[in-house]
Each structure stands twice: as structure tokens, then as C-alpha cells.
């Protein structure tokens, strides 16, 4: 039987996937978490999705990921409504360890992406793998993490839910990090009981039109995307488009500079004065000249003027 707490589990407001701060030696900089959490809160973010792609989870050891999750719980539990811990790895044994640990420290939810090297080719194998991971945290809400353009797993999410609901009693929804809006449409239509969290900065408005309520975004776009949703909810589609365009402009800059997910997010945070360090290899560090160029691009699109602007 599903726990009553899981049955009534819901999420309100935006979610951010924080980066993992590293120091100059490439070790986790735990001293920065408290001030970073405060900055996230100042951006209007209500929830965290930790140890995800932006957090460079798969570039960290299992022990590091446990320590990072513990630190986010320490500095974030009183600041944020929900903290979801991502536990995906390249094998179910480590993911089960991380899932059990996340439940033991009081995480509000866990999420898991399937392996991206030896990938599941059949839906049966996909469901069985995810169910095995979820079973390690039987009292914690569980979310599938679908990021198909990185994993190469192109199995239908809506079909996954059809088969997985009977095997995963804690299943509550998914993080949908894919530009395939038809997949979002199908999930929302076929599985209205599942919570849909987008994983995008620049397609949030399109998701709102389809019926999404939240997205997992970069923290520095918290006000921009909150403004987008507020305008949309008021029926002011023109204003919503204008707000969303700012996220699109920022994505254009990231693409022009060929910035990766963690590398680009960290670079922008450094431009805002937060010493989160460089990403770990194989993601290349940014040179000083590249960072100066990024600052110029950010100035050109007005980023430093509007990223903290609240809708009036």
C-alpha cells in the first residue's frame, strides 16, 4: 500500500537544479552551500533537485554524492518546500545505495535516470531497472528522470507509466528534460495522476500551454520564469512571451559559446559573483577570455538588468 504522505505528495512553485560548487583543487566546496542556498531563495525558487545533470552527479563518487545530498538537506530544509535527490548512476547497485541514503536523511523525493552506456532496449527492462532502484526507498516519492537526448533511451514515457505504476507504488511523476513536446502532451493526457516537472529554461511557456505547472530550471532564471507563469495565468500571453524570450536569449548565448549544462550554469553564476568553481573533466574549464566574452554577451541581452526583475 502506498504511504498516505506519498499519495498526497505535491509540489508548488519552481524547482532548481543547483550546481555542485568545487574549489580550485576540484573538491566539493561545502563552505559555499549556505550562501548559495540563500541566493537561490532570493531568486524566488521554492524547491531543489540536487545531484542532477547540472550538479555533475555522474562526475562525482557515491560518497561525494551522499555528502552533497546531506549538505543540501542541512542548508535547505528550512528554506525550501521540497528537496528531491537524484540517484541515477551507471548501475542499479549504486543507485539503490543512494536511494536508501536519500530516504534516511529525509529527502522529500528521489529521481533516477537509467544508465546511458549499457542502456535498456526493451520497455520491460527499463521498468524493471527503475523499479529495482525505487524499491530501496519504499517510503519516498519517486520520479523518473527522462533526458533522452543524453541517455539515448527513446522508449515512450507514457508507455513506461502504463507498465510501471503497478510495480512502483511510490511512483509520482517525472522530470521531463526533452524538447519533445508531444511526449509531454501524451503523459499529461494519459496519466493526469502523474506530476510533470519540465527540465527546461526556454520551453516553459510551451509547457504551460500543455498544462505543466512547474519546471526544473537554473536558479538565476527564477524570477524570469515565475514572471512567465504569472503572466500566463493572468491570460496575458504577450507578456508571458516577452518574459520567456529572456530565457530564449540566454539560451542563444549559451549555444553561441557552446556551453555545456553544468559548465554554462557555473560560468553564469561566477559572473554573478558566486565562486562555484569550474566543472570537472571531461567538461572543459572556461578560460578567462571566454568568461569575459560571456559577460559581454550577457550585457548585450540585458541579463544583469532583468534577471532579478519581478513582474509588476
Each residue of 198-211: b (16+ CB within 10 Å) or e? Answer: bbbbbbbbebbebe
C-alpha grid cell for residue 122?
A: 526493451
Cβ neighbours of residue 139 closer than 8 Å, sequence gap 6 or more: 3, 5, 6, 103, 170
Asked if the model's pLDDT at residue 251 lies above 60, the reply is: yes
Q: Could you give the CA distance from residue 56 to residue 197 in angstroms, rounded to a whole number?
A: 19
pLDDT interval class at 191 (50, 70, 90) = very high
Average pLDDT value over all residues in the chain: 95
Q: What is the pLDDT of residues 117-166, one digit of tens each?
A: 999 999 999 999 999 999 999 999 999 999 998 898 999 999 999 999 99
pLDDT interval class at 311 (50, 70, 90) = low
**Active-site hit among 66, 82, 175, 229:** 175
Asked if the model's pLDDT at residue 1 lies above 70, the reply is: no
Give the β-pairing of 109-112 and 171-176.
unpaired
Helix ranges restricted to H, 211-312 = 222-233, 237-256, 261-271, 288-300, 303-306
Omega of the bond prior to 282 within 30 degrees of 0, cis?
yes
Q: How many helices (H) and strands (E) does the chain have?
A: 14, 8
Q: What is the pLDDT of residues 283-310, one digit of tens each?
A: 999 999 999 999 999 999 999 999 998 7
Which of 126, 134, 81 lies closest to 103 in space, CA to CA? 134
Q: What Å distances lie between residue 28 and 22, 33, 217, 256, CA to CA? A: 4, 10, 22, 29
pTM comes to 0.96
Q: What is the pLDDT of residues 98-121, one digit of tens each?
A: 999 999 999 999 999 999 999 999
Cβ–Cβ < 8 Å for 298, 269: no
Q: Could you give the CA distance from residue 6 to residue 108 in angstroms, rounded to a whole number?
A: 9
- Ordered domains of the chain (ranges, CATH): 4-306 (3.20.20.70)
117 labelled catalytic: no
* pLDDT for the residue numbered 179: 85
Is 252 labeled as ligand-binding? no
3-state secondary structure (DSSP) of residue 287: coil
126 labelled catalytic: no
Q: Could you give the CA distance from residue 265 to residue 271 in angstroms, rounded to a whole number?
A: 10
Cβ neighbours of residue 40 closer than 8 Å, sequence gap 6 or more: 16, 18, 48, 79, 219, 222
pLDDT interval class at 50 (50, 70, 90) = very high
C-alpha grid cell for residue 307?
A: 534577471
Is 54 labeled as ligand-binding? yes
Report CA dihedral (246, 183, 15, 48) to the nearest 10 degrees. -140
Q: What is the pLDDT of residues 7-40, one digit of tens each?
A: 899 999 999 999 999 999 999 999 999 999 999 9
Opening angle at CA 96, ends 94 and 100, nearest 5? 120
* pLDDT for the residue numbered 45: 97
Q: What is the pLDDT of residues 204-221, one digit of tens each?
A: 999 999 999 999 999 999
Amino acid at each position: 500500500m502506498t504511504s498516505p504522505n506519498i499519495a498526497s505528495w505535491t509540489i508548488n512553485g519552481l524547482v532548481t537544479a543547483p550546481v555542485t560548487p568545487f574549489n580550485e583543487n576540484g573538491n566539493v566546496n561545502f563552505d559555499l552551500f549556505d550562501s548559495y542556498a540563500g541566493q537561490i531563495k532570493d531568486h524566488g525558487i521554492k524547491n531543489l533537485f540536487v545531484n542532477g545533470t547540472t550538479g555533475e552527479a555522474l562526475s562525482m563518487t557515491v560518497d561525494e554524492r551522499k555528502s552533497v545530498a546531506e549538505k543540501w538537506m542541512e542548508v535547505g530544509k528550512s528554506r525550501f518546500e521540497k528537496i528531491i535527490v537524484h540517484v541515477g548512476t551507471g548501475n542499479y547497485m549504486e543507485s539503490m545505495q543512494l536511494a536508501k541514503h536519500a530516504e534516511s536523511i529525509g529527502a522529500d523525493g528521489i529521481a533516477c535516470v537509467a544508465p546511458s552506456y549499457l542502456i535498456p532496449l526493451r520497455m520491460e527492462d527499463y521498468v524493471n531497472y527503475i523499479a529495482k532502484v525505487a524499491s530501496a526507498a519504499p517510503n519516498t516519492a519517486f520520479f523518473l528522470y527522462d533526458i533522452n537526448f543524453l541517455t539515448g533511451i527513446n522508449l515512450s514515457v507514457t508507455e513506461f507509466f502504463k507498465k510501471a505504476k503497478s510495480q512502483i507504488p511510490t511512483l509520482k511523476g517525472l522530470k521531463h528534460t526533452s524538447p519533445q513536446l508531444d511526449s509531454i502532451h501524451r503523459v499529461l493526457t494519459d496519466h493526469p495522476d502523474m506530476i510533470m516537472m519540465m527540465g527546461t529554461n526556454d520551453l516553459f511557456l510551451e509547457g504551460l500551454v500543455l498544462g505543466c505547472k512547474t519546471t526544473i530550471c537554473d536558479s538565476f532564471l527564477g524570477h524570469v520564469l515565475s514572471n512567465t507563469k504569472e503572466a500566463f495565468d493572468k491570460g496575458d500571453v504577450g507578456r508571458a512571451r516577452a518574459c520567456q524570450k529572456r530565457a530564449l536569449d540566454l539560451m542563444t548565448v549559451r549555444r553561441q559559446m557552446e556551453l555545456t549544462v553544468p559548465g554554462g550554469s557555473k560560468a553564469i553564476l561566477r559572473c554573478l559573483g558566486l565562486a562555484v568553481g569550474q566543472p570537472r573533466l571531461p567538461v572543459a574549464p572556461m578560460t578567462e577570455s571566454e568568461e569575459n566574452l560571456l559577460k559581454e554577451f550577457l550585457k548585450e541581452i540585458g541579463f544583469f538588468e532583468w534577471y532579478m526583475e519581478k513582474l509588476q
